[in-house]
A and B are shown apart, each in its own frame.
Chain A
Amino acid sequence: MVKIIANREIDVNEEGYLLNFKQWDKEVCLCIAEEQCIPMTEKHWEVVEYLQDKFQKEEPLSIRGIKKSGVINIKEFYSLFPGGPLKKSTLIAGIPKPKSCI
């Protein structure tokens, strides 16, 4: 389906995840973050970059991976993206929702 984000037509799935990463940019990112009530700080951007890097390398995301990432620890991750950190951060980063159970 199509959703208007940052005055643009963006292809998203039924949960709001971007279907085409090429449509993502900082403006889109800020709009999604605002919708999720997440104020983007420098640390948020760092996490977004880390997630996108993993996505482009086709490496699966997991909470254990976050722990080992060196970018952020788990406690900070939960406080930056409250209410489902990996789910919310991937939504904001414009990449698919992780399928892993861990």
Chain B
Amino acid sequence: MSETSVKEKSETKVKEMSKTKVKKMLFILSKGTIENAYAAFVMANGARMEGIESEIFFTFFGLEAIQKKKLEHLHVATVGNPALHMPTMLGGLPGVEALATKMMKKEMEKLDMPPIGEFIEILSDSGCKLWGCKLAIDMFHLERTDLIDELDGILTIGDFYGRANEEGTHLLFI
């Protein structure tokens, strides 16, 4: 009898999944460097994988990540990036940024990180909503046709806040 009760006790200890208090993650990607785009994508995809809703709002330079012609050409910033431990003047030389980006992409491929275009497909198929910022799109004179087909729409910041109006929603600015 006592043995059964012990077993029952351990059974109840088994955590139930998908019971997180975080229900929805909203990301604002405002930067056009490759590491920032990946940060947003990995976290947005990670949320979906945990059964959490996720959406990304692309604004200002973050729009580079959803422009058909530019998305595969995002770079890591070699100037003004002390974490690269490279003299600023060296970082500014022609080709250095491209080389650093190439090296980074190579390392990412080793970890089975998809390229930006494929990552967008994965996010879209996973149910992550992708939004463009109306103000920034107007400012850069972009047309809908310049942007990826997977884009779910173009929103004002007010529309975006409307999407945040749910309990358990978190916003993250990148």
| Residues of chain A whose beta carbon lies under 8 Å from any beta carbon of chain B | 1-4, 9, 12, 14-16, 36, 60, 62-65, 67, 73-75, 78, 82-88, 91, 100-102
Contact = CB atoms under 8 A, between A and B. Distances in A.
Contact of B14 (A15, A62, A101): A15
Contacts of B111: 102
Contacts of B127: 75, 78
Interface stretch (B5-13, B65-73, B151-159, B165-173): B5-13
A36 B48 CA distance: 17
Contacts of A74: 122, 125-126
Given A64-B112, A64-B122, A74-B125, A16 B14 contact: yes
A17 to B, nearest CB: 9
Given A2-B7, A3-B10, A102-B113, A87 B122 contact: no
Nearest to B19: A83
Given A3-B10, A84-B50, A91 B126 contact: no
A83 B18 contact: yes
A92 B45 CA distance: 22
Q: Which 7 A-B pairs have the closest CB atoms?
A: A83-B51, A74-B125, A84-B51, A83-B18, A1-B10, A16-B14, A75-B125
For this complex, into which size category does the number of interface residues on chain B fall? Answer: 20 to 34
Nearest to B4: A4
Contacts of A87: 17, 49-51
A9 B11 CA distance: 11
Contacts of B125: 67, 73-75, 78
Interface in B29-48: 42, 45-46, 48
B13 A14 contact: yes
A102 B114 contact: yes
B7 A63 contact: no
